[in-house]
A and B are shown apart, each in its own frame.
Chain A
Amino acid sequence: MRRPLALLLAAAASCATAAELYVPGTLDDPRVRMADYLGLHKRHFSAVVELGLVEGADDPLRMPADYQWRLADNLLAFGMRDRAEALYRQLAATSTETEEDVERIAKAQLRIAEFEYQRGYWAEARATLQRLRGSLPQSLLADWQDLLSRVLMAEGRYGEAAEILALLNESDAESPYSRYNFGVALIKDGRAPQGQTVLDRVGRLNPTDLEELALRDRANLSLGWHFLQSQQGGTAKPLFARVRVEGPFSNRALLGLGWAELAPQGERIAKVTVGDEEVDPFTRFSTLGVLMRPGFVEEDIFKRAGLRAFRLTKASKEEEDALRKALVPWIELISRDPMDPAVQEAWLAIPYTLDRLGAHTQALQYYERAVEVLEKARARMTAARISIRQGRMVETIVRRELDSEAGWEWKMLDLPDTPETYFLQTLLAEHRFQEALKNYRDLRLLARTLDSWSQRMDKVVATYGREDRPPAQPDELIRRARDGWSPPWQGLQIELRAERALAVPGAYAGAARRPPALRPQLRLAGPPARFNGPLERARTAQQRITDLREPLKVAAAEQAKLLEDLALTELVGQQEQIERYLVEARFALARLYDRQRMGEKGEMNDQ
């Protein structure tokens, strides 16, 4: 091999040049740059391990800043806030006062606070943000205000949140999302008129993408229900009508639209002008407003619902009109997914309205169908509870990206097809569930990492136990150890000078005074009491793996239980609602049957 290669050395089209030197932990260090690549690939666990193998990594606080930044960023991304924060603090203490450094450190602190907010460490998040206030660059002020307001709202401190958002509201950096939050904070703080005005502005924004469209719907829905609860049905109606016919908020808006017809209409609320009104954005989308304009409905909605003509006996003309109008959105609503609580409520609202209109037979038929729908929903809810206890949904989500090391940065991109998914849509979107899910995923990743290392350490131990393993070559080992080694006195500058006080060599005639010759007692040293070579270290690692399995297993079981409890708690409210609706429907049915049996005069007059 050597000879042909020697020839190749001469003939090769290109040859390596002299090696470039790097200082471990700097940006030239290939391992640090490899960690960069791994971090960008969202393999944060691997990036942290890679950085741990850099020479000198035992004490990260003494490593170069480039190293510390990468380590801290990857630790935080993998959900290890405490270690990341210690590094960021060190970086802040040792950084220069350049604008770039100040901004980078502030951004890191904002990320820490975001992590704390999402994981539920609200008091810590607030403290982090307050500490940051003094050194905050102007460019990050809007982000800081936005995050602080969300933290304060999570803590229920709406007044303080509103103050912060008011500052943001005055700046150019305000987003529609923070404007929405501003409106909510004002209403929750008891400043309803101002909050209504702000939410109304969001409800009339010209959306640039689907997210803003959904935000606008949400603002209109929230404001609509707010007015409905304040007995302002007349004001609520146009707000519900602004919501899209098809969208995440359309069902609740349809429900609200119906109730708004029946609710007290309230006094007319003067619209506050805020000065940034734009052209009517509701002409570009199909909104619930079409239900208020009969010409826009494709076919007679009453005919579609199988309602025959009925004669009103009890209600006034005004009430009859309101009842008929309320039926329009609700009939549309019951054609939708019966698992939605809004649809379930509509199934009860329609027969209630028909009964009020005097259409008792049709009311009875609708109540019977409502019971069927609710029974089915209850059965599905039971299946969902069983599925939650089996952990099917979580298992399906986790299995999709089993090897992802994204940690805190992991995102759920789609929903699994399991019985509980529908009921948990809201919960699935919330930080408390998402963050718990990320931790559960990470625990599974850690367990698999241990499995992998267990096998690999077994291989290492087996390598040393092989009979055909070549014997150690001490001379070679010493040669390698000396390669690149230099004696500690190498390069020492020795200065020579004349010594005038000494006699000329050979001229001294006195008796030589020498200390007695030192005769150390030498004996052969024994072998080291403990050798810590790769084999011994591998055995220690095997033991550590065994020791770590149990706490990981316990933590994973507790985390799975936490997810289960979150899901079951979420279902409690929905299940109770279905039960309540069923009781109402059955009670109403019994009442109608009683009336029929007793042959009350004037009943069933719609036959």
Chain B
Amino acid sequence: MRAIRGRRAAFLLFAALFPLPVAVAASAQDIAERAIRLDQTIQALKDEVIELSREAQAIENAAIIPEHRRLSVYLKVAVRGLLLEEVGVAVDDQPAEVYHYEESDARALLGEHALQRVLRTSVEPGPHRIRMSAKGQYADARPDDPPVTLSYEAIFDKSQREAELEFAVTRASRFGDELRLSMKEWRKRQ
């Protein structure tokens, strides 16, 4: 008889009712010690791979999308229950980059502070046109309800620093159903 708990108990309810024989239990002890030693090793390896990934990402950014040409476009959804299906972002005359959502990432985007980077690309300093379109549906929508579609187009001036644009899907007014897409630019304080 072993300790079990809450919702995790669904699987654990299958757990054995009777103790293992002594010989097997001794072997289980050895396995438990090995498991802990390995867990320590794996934690250290994770640390190293994370550090390597951080460095490699910084190198790639510097080499392929240097900061003075870097454009990062983020998206936030601040409308409860709105699950995006796809988002398209186009800069100047380039074809739109389209991102398709699974339910899991559409839900993740509904987090209070969550912001998704939907595009990172290279553009010359100077003015540029950007267009964003989004399509989605409310989680409780009926199958025959029309999808929610939004679009936004703006000009932004790219400086010698990374441009960070945030698009936000919000309600147009506090009590209305109408939605809107807006944009603002962020800049790191030097």
Q: Which residues from chain A sit less than 8 Å from chain B, CB to CB?
A: 1-2, 5-6, 8-9, 12-24, 27-30, 32-34, 36-38, 40-42, 45, 48-49, 52-53, 55, 57, 78-83, 119-121, 146, 149-150, 153-154, 161, 175, 177-178, 180-181, 184-185, 187-188, 210-211, 214-215, 218, 221-222, 225, 248-249, 252, 412, 425-426, 428-430, 432, 435-436, 439, 442-443, 446, 449-450, 453, 456-457, 459-460, 463-464, 479-480, 483-484, 534-535, 537-538, 541, 544-545, 548, 551-552, 555, 558-559, 562, 565-566, 569, 572-573, 576
B161 to A, closest residue via Cβ: A484
Residue numbers in A under 8 Å from B63 (CB-CB): 460, 463-464, 534-535, 538
Q: Give min CB distance, A167 to chain B, whole Å.
A: 16
Docked CA distance A267–B129 (Å): 88
Docked CA distance A225–B18 (Å): 10
Ordered nearest first, which 9 A-B pairs have the shortest CB separation? A33-B115, A52-B54, A429-B11, A41-B108, A40-B108, A37-B114, A19-B187, A534-B63, A153-B3
Residue numbers in B under 8 Å from A534 (CB-CB): 59, 62-63
**Would A252 and B185 count as touching, CB distance under 8 A?**
no
Residue numbers in A under 8 Å from B57 (CB-CB): 49, 53
Q: B32 at interface (Cβ–Cβ under 8 A)?
A: yes
- Given the interface pairs A12-B154, A21-B187, the reply to whether A120 lies near B53 with Cβ below 8 Å is no
Size bracket, chain B contacts: 35 or more
Docked CA distance A159–B35 (Å): 27
Residue numbers in A under 8 Å from B31 (CB-CB): 432, 562, 565-566, 569
Docked CA distance A226–B76 (Å): 57
- Given the interface pairs A5-B129, A460-B59, the reply to whether A121 lies near B113 with Cβ below 8 Å is no
Residue numbers in B under 8 Å from A443 (CB-CB): 42, 45
**Would A177 and B74 count as touching, CB distance under 8 A?**
no
Number of A-B contacts (CB under 8 A): 287
Known: A45-B50, A558-B38. 15 other contacts (CB 8 A): A16-B183, A33-B74, A37-B108, A82-B43, A175-B6, A211-B13, A248-B14, A436-B35, A439-B38, A442-B46, A446-B45, A456-B56, A460-B59, A562-B35, A565-B27
Contacts of B89-117 to chain A: CB distance below 8 A: 92, 104-105, 107-109, 111-117
**Would B111 and A37 count as touching, CB distance under 8 A?**
yes
**Would A248 and B13 count as touching, CB distance under 8 A?**
yes
**Would A154 and B108 count as touching, CB distance under 8 A?**
no
- Supply 13 A–B pairs (Cβ within 8 Å), ascending by A: A2-B126, A12-B129, A16-B154, A38-B108, A41-B105, A80-B46, A181-B4, A188-B1, A211-B9, A215-B9, A221-B17, A439-B39, A459-B64
Q: Give min CB distance, B64 to chain A, whole Å.
A: 7
Docked CA distance A12–B46 (Å): 48
Q: Give min CB distance, B183 to chain A, whole Å.
A: 6
**Would B186 and A19 count as touching, CB distance under 8 A?**
yes
Q: Give min CB distance, A20 to chain B, whole Å.
A: 6
**Would B49 and A555 count as touching, CB distance under 8 A?**
no
Q: B58 at interface (Cβ–Cβ under 8 A)?
A: yes
Residue numbers in B under 8 Å from A457 (CB-CB): 56, 59-60
- Report whether over half of chain A's contact residues are helix, strand or loop; otherwise say mixed: helix
Residue numbers in A under 8 Å from B186 (CB-CB): 19-22, 28, 30
**Would B2 and A12 count as touching, CB distance under 8 A?**
no
**Would B17 and A225 count as touching, CB distance under 8 A?**
yes
Q: B121 at interface (Cβ–Cβ under 8 A)?
A: no
Q: B165 at interface (Cβ–Cβ under 8 A)?
A: yes
- Given the interface pairs A120-B36, A184-B3, the reply to whether A449 lies near B53 with Cβ below 8 Å is yes
Residue numbers in A under 8 Å from B10 (CB-CB): 210-211, 214
**Would B104 and A460 count as touching, CB distance under 8 A?**
no
Q: Give min CB distance, B133 to chain A, whole Å.
A: 14
Instruction: Give B9-28 as 1s and 0s: 1 = Cβ < 8 Å from A's Cβ atoms.
Output: 11111111100110010011
**Would A538 and B35 count as touching, CB distance under 8 A?**
no
**Would A555 and B13 count as touching, CB distance under 8 A?**
no
